[in-house]
Amino acid sequence: MTYARISGTGSYLPERILTNKELESTVDTTDQWIRERTGIRQRHIVADGESTCDLAERASRSALESAQKHPEDVDLIIVGTTTPDKIYPATACRLQSRLGVFGCPAFDVQAVCTGFIYALGIAEKFIQSGSAKTALVIGADTHSRLLDWTDRTTCVLFGDGAGAVVLEASDEPGIYSSHLHADGRYEPLLYVDGGVPRGKGEISEGNAYTKMRGNEVFKIAVRTLGRIVDEVLEANRMEKSDLDWLIPHQANIRIIEATARKLSMPMDRVVVTIEDQGNTSAASVPLALDVAVRDGRIKRGDKLLLEAFGGGFTWGAALVRY
């Protein structure tokens, strides 16, 4: 049987750092308020002219180098993103051109903050079926461009970035299982109020801002992620104690802590980057993975639970042996 394993990781964060202290001067909030409710101290923001594809390219080249692969080895590219450079072509196609990889499938997946988990699950199926041998899977977002910077309930939460992994065919399990879900009934709780104009006279430009009913999203996210933990463990006949690391979506420190409690996992076995990066949407899980791989915390053979929750609502998880 053919399995899929992660052979390399990479990430990239824009140079510009926006601190809570800076936000205090532009919106009615405080550093203490943001830290206590979210765990965020700062976030990275793209420069003018810097695109989602720019971030994805930097993360991809880093992942390829980590995996000791060249762009021409890649036969599948999937980008999880909510902020494509253009309506079309897909950011994955633009990335493919920059890398000089021609002819292989390249497409975007839009599942908001769960985008990377969705992309990873899809790439795993391509490799299992024999349709691909080396996949480049990216989560990249410039979510700061979807923010109303006068709305203190949303503008303090998000940052920009990209994370990537190289996924290769293997004789031994790397990804044990992936679990993907969605429920469109919850659209009114978290959405962007903008899109392609639906008729003459409608102009969406300027209205593309994130809208969120934070308390309700928080409660549903905690319940939903708790259930998917059980689903993953049951599917793989594992116990909580079999897991070495939790790599969660970095949305809110309280959600992360609730998931850790569900797993009876101490916080020193949870990869947390939210303090310095904020919520980087589809990029947050691969960014956190790359940080922990590069600083030596995560080692080959470790069992990792990756999970995320996002607008849609979408949610998903993957159990990975690194």
Residues forming the active site: 113, 249, 279
Q: How many CB atoms lie within 10 A of CB 160?
A: 29
Closest CA to 229 of 248, 208, 254: 248
Handedness of CA 15, 18, 19, 22 (dihedral sign): positive
3-state secondary structure of 194: coil
5-36 as b/e: b if 16+ CB within 10 A:
bbbbbbbbbbeeebebeebeeeeebebeebee
Q: How far apart are CA 55 and CA 10, in angstroms?
A: 11
Within 8 A by CB and 6+ apart from 129, the residues are none
Residue 47 has which token pair?
A: 């420069």
Task: Report phi then psi at 30, rounded to 5.
Answer: -135, 155
Q: Are 9 and 286 in contact (CB under 8 A)?
A: yes
Nearest to 320 by CA among 307, 296, 304: 304
Integer Cα distance of 92 and 85 in angstroms: 10
C-beta atoms surrounding 208 within 10 Å: 15
